[in-house]
Chain A
Amino acid sequence: MKMVAAAKLRKAQNAIITLRPYAAKLNEIMQNLSKSVDSPDENIYSAKRPADKVLIVAITSNRGLCGGFNINVVKRVISLIKEEYSSQYMLGNVKIMAIGKKGDEMLRAKGYAVEEAINDIFDKLTFENTVPIAEKLMKLFVYKEFDRIVLVYNRFKNAAVQILETEQYLPVKASDENEDNNGQDLKADYIFEPGKEEILESLIPKAIKLQLYKALLDSFAAEHGARMTAMHKATDNADQLIKDLNLAYNKARQAAITKEILEIVSGAEALKG
């Protein structure tokens, strides 16, 4: 199990590692653009509305045996419902979307209604397959079915460490880095074709789709990392258990032999006497 997880981890890790430069570059271009466009906030995907209707997207795995990986997500979702969005939940305005079988099952078992469950995405995790989900989320937001969409997932740091993230998906958050690079201008005098606004407009939906894909890839890699660690611990535990049991068995055997010898010897002594 550990070896299987390790092999799958390598694949998932490669996928997230190839994606990161892509995401970084896209972000860089977006940031350059939004700085030079006058009103970057006027976009249908960044419209801030009071968070009356909230959708929580819980990203878990389809399979178990991976330690606290799934339960952490479920716990975070429940704490979000009970604390941050409790007033909305009272009004029935918090909905849950589960990506991954385990989160779906656990949340249902705990008595939370799961509005929608998507279970087959991890069978073939490609960008094309995640686009429909992202488009659906974007539509839900634009048509005001929801005012805020939040992702809860495990971010992959390394094979042993997963970081539980709660990320606002929509509306798009204005980048905080703006202040940091204020003095920094574009690297070169770019020609913008057709125009900055148009490019930005076509890039924002792409970036949103990419964000979901990144979250899914992160979660996928983290899942295998978590499973590998869990299975490693299980193997170690089993080894220790075998060792202990072996020792106990040998001790008992030895005690029985000693007892028998004692009986024979004392019997012989008694006959002699």
Chain B
Amino acid sequence: MNVEIITPDKTLYKGEAELVQLPGIDGSFEILENHAPLISALAEGKVKIKKSGNEQFFDINGGVIEVLNNKVLILAQ
């Protein structure tokens, strides 16, 4: 699936990923391939992106996520 993390200033991440772990308002959750369409608010925390065994972390200060047709768009702050 395609993942994009953008902030008002820049694009933090753009590319393929197998797993995204997110700091939801009600707790952490993960998104895998073929996830159902989702819109959710995010709290402050770390976003983990897993791609072919490698893990990458990004700090975000809250935001919102939209998942649609294997496209994950994270509007971070």
The interface of chain A, by Cβ under 8 A from chain B, is 15, 18-19, 21-22, 25-26, 29, 32-33, 126-127, 187-194, 198-199, 202-203, 206, 210, 213
Contact = CB atoms under 8 A, between A and B. Distances in A.
Contact of A194 (B10, B11, B26, B77): B26
14 contacts: A18-B6, A22-B75, A29-B39, A127-B8, A191-B40, A193-B26, A193-B38, A193-B39, A194-B26, A194-B41, A198-B41, A199-B40, A202-B25, A206-B62
B40 A193 contact: yes
Interface in B1-42: 6-11, 24-26, 29, 36-41
B46 to A, nearest CB: 18
Question: Interface of chain B, helix or strand or loop or mixed?
Answer: strand
Q: Which 7 A-B pairs have the closest CB atoms?
A: A188-B37, A193-B40, A127-B8, A202-B41, A199-B41, A190-B37, A191-B38
Interface of B: 6-11, 24-26, 29, 36-41, 62-64, 66, 68-69, 73, 75, 77
Given A18-B11, A26-B64, A32-B39, 5 more contacts: A190-B37, A190-B38, A191-B37, A193-B41, A199-B64
B37 to A, nearest CB: 4
Given A18-B10, A127-B7, A187 B68 contact: yes
A273 B41 CA distance: 109
Given A22-B75, A203-B64, A191 B9 contact: no
A203 B23 CA distance: 16
B10 A29 contact: no
Contacts, number: 78
A194 B25 contact: yes
B3 to A, nearest CB: 15
Contacts of A191: 36-40
A139 B3 CA distance: 35
A16 B71 CA distance: 24
Contacts of B11: 18
Contacts of B62: 202, 206
A21 B8 CA distance: 9
A21 B68 CA distance: 17
Contacts of B69: 188
Given A25-B66, A25-B73, A127 B37 contact: no
Nearest to B7: A127
B9 A29 contact: no
Given A192-B39, A193-B38, A126 B9 contact: yes
A199 B73 contact: no
A206 B68 contact: no
B11 to A, nearest CB: 7
A15 B9 contact: yes
B37 A22 contact: no
A202 B69 CA distance: 25
